[in-house]
């Protein structure tokens, strides 16, 4: 069996790393990796391949930034050429990025079966590009690997029941596998002069927050008002918008520690040792839960509803007062059920694909 894996963004590299390990252990599967170049900054891309020991991509498309239409179109053209050339048995895509959409579209038009890792997530907000990508990809997929029961129920409501598998979340595989290495190798806590469990981690990158000046300003004003150190890895998009809107003064407080995007080991260490996470990232909400760190989500809704229902995650949107109030009052729940599987998702996916030959 020949699998063509399409990746292009940081979370996908981490997920692909775990499944590639499982695939490599079986001589019956050949994997060809395509890196679209959707994340093109070294800290967002290259360093992840190196640190996670992910096999070097067989193809690098280098699409870079651009509008959603332009980025997706460029990927479609290149992916179609590659798929015709190597004739894979399966095209494997991850998550909800433009790379995910392009991979599934190109494959389906060539009648190549699609396997989607992290199927069934829904925020029910179609203004989010990621929501459109999820919906389209799931309806094109032949194998839908779901991280939770809630994801399966979302698919069922849309009439998708064939090829659906509850595998757990592959990010949990990565957290369990890499956390000991990260804590041993990373020096980020010492480098930033942080005290473990006495600081907050904040990330902001979604267009709904960065491209709307009033939302971005409100979030930054909330960070400014917090009483603990705030580690703030600055996404390239967020950095551009802060400069464009002239908001640099809002992050100039001594307790806000601005850093470049972190590699996976540093990010895993910073997140696992934080007192609290504030984020608009879907992946980091979930990782915070897996690391048993309370989270405040800087969005009006989330696809990871289980984390909210369990009490580990609270929705604050972009309201300054609400964010600050939730930081003051949030508590760590006593229970932490295994919402996302047992950490053996990669092997389960590998076994399912092998049985389908």
Residues 6+ apart with CB under 8 A from 80: 106, 109, 110
Q: Which DSSP letter does residue 261 get?
A: P
| Helix, strand or coil, per DSSP, at residue 144 | strand
| Helix, strand or coil, per DSSP, at residue 326 | helix
Q: Which residue blocks in the chain are alpha helix, DSSP H?
A: 10-24, 46-51, 68-86, 98-109, 129-140, 149-157, 170-185, 188-191, 207-210, 213-225, 236-244, 264-272, 282-290, 305-309, 320-329, 345-355
List the catalytic residues.
205
Question: 301 forms bridges with which residues in the sheet?
Answer: none
Q: Give the C-alpha separation, 244 to 247, whole Å.
A: 8
Chain-centroid distance of CA 104 in Å reads 18
| Helix, strand or coil, per DSSP, at residue 201 | strand
Residues 6+ apart with CB under 8 A from 252: none
Q: Which helix (H) or strand (E) holds 90?
A: strand 90-94
Neighbour count for residue 177 (Cβ, 10 Å): 15
**DSSP result, 282-320:** HHHHHHHHHTT--EEESSS--S-HHHHHTTSEEE-TT-H
């Amino acid at each position: 069996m020949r699998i063509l894996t399409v990746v292009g963004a940081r979370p996908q590299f981490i997920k692909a790393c775990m499944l590639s390990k499982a695939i490599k252990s079986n001589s019956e599967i050949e994997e060809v990796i395509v890196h679209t170049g959707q994340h093109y900054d070294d800290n967002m891309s290259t360093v992840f391949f190196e640190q996670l020991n992910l096999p070097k991509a067989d193809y690098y498309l280098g699409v870079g930034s651009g509008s959603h239409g332009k980025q997706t179109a460029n990927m479609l053209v290149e992916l179609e050429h590659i798929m015709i050339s190597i004739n894979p048995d399966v095209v494997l895509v991850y998550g909800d990025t433009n790379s995910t959409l392009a991979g599934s579209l190109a494959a389906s038009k060539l009648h190549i079966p699609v396997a989607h890792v992290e199927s069934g997530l829904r925020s029910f907000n179609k203004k989010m590009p990621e929501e459109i990508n999820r919906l389209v990809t799931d309806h094109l997929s032949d194998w839908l690997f779901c991280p939770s029961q809630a994801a399966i129920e979302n698919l069922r409501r849309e009439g998708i029941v064939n090829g659906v598998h509850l595998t757990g979340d592959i990010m949990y595989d990565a957290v369990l596998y890499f956390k000991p290495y990260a804590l041993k190798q990373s020096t980020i806590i010492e480098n930033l002069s942080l005290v473990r469990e006495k600081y907050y981690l904040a990330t902001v990158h979604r267009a709904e927050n960065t491209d709307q000046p009033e939302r971005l300003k409100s979030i930054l004003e909330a960070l400014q008002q917090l009483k603990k150190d705030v580690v703030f890895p600055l996404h390239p998009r967020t950095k551009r918008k802060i400069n464009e809107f002239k908001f640099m003064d809002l992050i100039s407080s001594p307790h806000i520690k601005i850093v470049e995007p972190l590699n996976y080991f540093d990010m895993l260490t910073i997140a696992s040792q934080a007192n609290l996470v504030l984020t608009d990232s879907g992946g980091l909400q979930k990782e915070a839960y897996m690391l048993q760190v309370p989270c405040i989500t800087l969005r009006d809704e989330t696809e990871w509803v289980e984390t909210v229902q369990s009490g580990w995650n609270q929705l604050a949107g972009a309201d300054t007062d609400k964010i600050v109030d939730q930081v003051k009052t949030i508590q760590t729940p006593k229970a932490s059920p295994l919402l996302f599987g047992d950490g053996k998702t990669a092997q389960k996916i590998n076994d399912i694909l092998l049985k389908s030959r």
